[in-house]
Amino acid sequence: MQKNDRAHFILNSGRLRRQDNNIYFDKYDDEMSVVATKILPINAVDEIYILAKVDMDSYTMAFLADNNVLLHIFSPYQSFRGNFFPNTSNSVNKSGFVLLQQLRSFDDEIKRSYIAREITRAHILNDALNCKRHGVKFDTNPHISALEVAKTIPEIMAVEGSFQKLYYEEWNEIISNQKSFKFTVRSKRPPADKINSFISYVNTRIYNVCLSEIYKTELDPRIGFLHEPNYRSLSLHLDLAEIFKPILGDTLIFSMLNKKEITAKDFETNAGRIKFTNDAVQKIEMKMISKLTDQIEVGGQKLTWRQIIRREANRLKKCICENAPYEGFVYK
Amino acid sequence: MFSKDQIAGTLVNYYITCKREAWLYAHHIYPDQEDENMALGRVMAEIKEQNLQDFAFANLKFDKLSKERGHYLVTEYKKSLKNPEAGKMQLLFYLYVLKIGLKLKEVKGKLVSGKTVFLVDASEENLNMMKEILIDIEKLVNMPTAPKFEYKKICDNCAYRNYCM
């Protein structure tokens, strides 16, 4: 059973290189000269997050591919740029059958809206339980009943949107520091204030965790059910993240803000764009990793959150391939 | 359409163990790669004895093929022998392909796990049994959906448990 999180973060500029059968990271200073070298044990790393300018050659990338290490690359403003997904003889993501079934389920309007509805239901219930845990009352019944009537995807999206707006309004009661973290309206690209910036960062992280778990199953991340796949490259991980955002992301934001682990000083503003300092990223990631490696008992098994996400992806796969009933994960 | 030449040793092994597992494997729905037993198996395949030739014929990959006095010997290494029948059948499948496909005259098989050793003989009777199994596998794999899941005792330690259960 896997206990520690096998993700590695690179926050400084430098060079990633293969030497013998291992990966080394040379840290650069401002003049591009090496100041420190660190070894990344290849067998203990599953994915590498690159949040800085890093040099790499194809020899290193081939080695990473052979060992099934997934690379996530981010822009200097911590938005997602893309990933390097290895295709080798031992990568699993190769089933034509599952891809066909996924496309068929997507085209089948009844099945697609069934899956989308189940995901939204789990999302709403998880959000509401979040509120309840922080002592805020929230009535989900009108939303759930509206969801049951919703037939098409836009209708489901509308239910979700109106619910989400009310949910974010409750945040002002949960977060105690109202001076710098008052929630007014959700804004993206770029986030307008500190709380929006925090939400965006944490959500991006959860999207990426979901994405790497989807890559470990045979599902194709390009075809989502709730989110329209037409206008973006990847969308299935957004669906999966809907379920886990309230459980993993929102609780992390609440606890870090209420314990004053993140304050207004942890943000940098540059030309109107807000970003975290490297120290703050480190703090958040420490918390995130300890959250992801927490073990919870689900269905008689002790699983980490990462494994629960993969289990959820597997359930979706079973629903897609064999028409098995699917029910979104609700954390009670 | 799945044809008989696409059958590999692992598929025969899975077919004897669990029909559903075989169907899933044939459709490239792979088990959880992070499962402990899967990881052990992969390491076992990596650290074979030195100087063993990796002999590849069609889509077969033996652990070892050696030339003894007057006959060839195929050896298959297993981590454990909880299900010796499946290992024997896998080995018999190799012998079948070598005898029918490559037309080798004398082939014998050895199944090794620690200190336990089983010998498999390519007798006429065994080969006929194998032939029937191969026809059955082809039939099973060409079914449009997987056989229904039924809980068995082996399911607890299977790397597919997160998918099936």
* Residue B51 backbone zone (phi > 0: left; psi -120 to 50: alpha; other: beta): left
What value of ipTM does the predicted structure carry?
A: 0.74
- Find the farthest-apart pair of alpha carbons in chain B and give their distance in angstroms, rounded: 49
pLDDT, tens digit (0-9, with 9 covering 90-100), for A107-123: 888 888 888 888 888 88
Residue B11 vs residue A274, higher pLDDT: B11
CA nearest to B112, candidates B75, B85, B82, B86: B75
Across chain A, mean pLDDT equals: 81
Query: What is the pLDDT at residue A2?
Result: 46
* Cβ–Cβ contact B33 with A under 8 A: yes
pLDDT, tens digit (0-9, with 9 covering 90-100), for A137-168: 777 777 777 777 778 888 888 888 888 888 88
- Nearest-Cα distance to chain B for A97, in Å, is 6
The alpha carbon torsion through A290, A291, A292, A294 (nearest 10 deg) reads 80
Classify residue B21 by its DSSP letter. Answer: H
* Residue A68 backbone zone (phi > 0: left; psi -120 to 50: alpha; other: beta): left
Across the interface, whether the CB atoms of B146 and A95 are under 8 A apart is answered no
C-beta separation of A220 from A99 below 8 A = yes
Q: Is pLDDT of A37 > 80?
A: yes
Q: What is the spatial distance between Cα A201 and Cα A283, in angstroms, rounded to a whole number?
A: 13
* Cβ–Cβ contact B32 with A under 8 A: yes
Query: What is the pLDDT at residue B51?
Result: 52
C-beta separation of B122 from B92 below 8 A = yes
CA nearest to A101, candidates A219, A252, A266: A219
C-beta separation of B21 from B12 below 8 A = no
> How far is C-alpha A112 from the chain's CA centre?
22
Return per-residue pLDDT of chain B as tens, 165 residues: 777 777 888 888 888 888 888 888 888 888 877 778 887 877 777 766 555 555 556 667 777 777 778 787 888 788 877 888 888 888 888 888 878 777 777 888 888 887 888 888 877 788 888 888 888 888 888 888 888 888 888 888 888 888 887
Task: Locate A108 and state its tokens.
Answer: 């089948």
Beta strands in A47-194 (DSSP E): 47-50, 54-55, 70-74, 80-84
Percentage helix, strand, coil for chain B under 3-state DSSP, each rounded to 5: 45, 15, 40
Beta strands in B46-125 (DSSP E): 56-57, 60-61, 64-67, 72-77, 107-113, 116-121
Q: What is the mean pLDDT of residues A274-283?
A: 78
Pairing of strands A7-10, A14-19: unpaired
Selected residues 113-152 of chain B with any CB under 8 Å from a CB in chain A: 145-146
Q: What is the spatial distance between Cα A195 and Cα A174, in angstroms, rounded to a whole number?
A: 13
Residues of A in contact with B28 (CB under 8 A): 94-98, 218
Q: Is pLDDT of A278 > 80?
A: no
Query: What is the pLDDT at residue A196?
Result: 82
Q: What is the spatial distance between Cα B67 and Cα B124, in angstroms, rounded to a whole number?
A: 22
CA nearest to A292, candidates A178, A213, A227: A213
- Nearest-Cα distance to chain B for A288, in Å, is 21
Residue B66 vs residue A47, higher pLDDT: A47
Query: What is the pLDDT at residue B50?
Result: 54
- Nearest-Cα distance to chain A for B119, in Å, is 31
C-beta separation of A194 from A180 below 8 A = yes
Q: Is pLDDT of A231 > 80?
A: no
Query: What is the pLDDT at residue A1?
Result: 38
Task: Locate A313 and state its tokens.
Answer: 């992806």
Read off φ and ψ for residue B102, nearest 5 degrees: -90, -10
**B142: number of CA atoms within 13 Å, CB side?**
12
Sheet hosting strand A22-28, strand order edge to edge: A34-40, A22-28, A14-19, A54-55
Buried b (16+ CB within 10 A) or exposed e, B96-132: bbbbeeeeeeebbbbbbbeeeebebebeeebeeebee
Q: What is the spatial distance between Cα A86 and Cα A47, in angstroms, rounded to a whole number?
A: 11
Helices (H), B2-60: 9-17, 19-26, 36-46
Nearest CB among B28, B32, B42 relative to A94 is that of B28
Residue A88: which pLDDT band, with cuts at 50, 70 and 90?
low
Q: Is pLDDT of A230 > 80?
A: no
Q: Is pLDDT of A91 > 70?
A: no
Nearest CB among B28, B42, B162 relative to A95 is that of B28
> What are the Cα distances from residue A119, in Å, to A12, A245, B29?
37, 12, 23
Interface of A with B (CB under 8 A): 1-2, 68, 90, 92, 94-98, 216, 218, 299, 307, 310-311, 314, 317-318, 321-322
> What are the Cα distances from residue A321, in Å, to A28, A102, B137, B144?
48, 7, 20, 10
Residues of B in contact with A309 (CB under 8 A): none
Task: Locate A205 and state its tokens.
Answer: 């992280």
β-sheet bridge partners, residue B77:
B112
Sheet hosting strand B72-77, strand order edge to edge: B64-67, B72-77, B107-113, B116-121
Query: What is the pLDDT at residue B58?
Result: 63
Nearest CB among A2, A92, A318 relative to B163 is that of A318
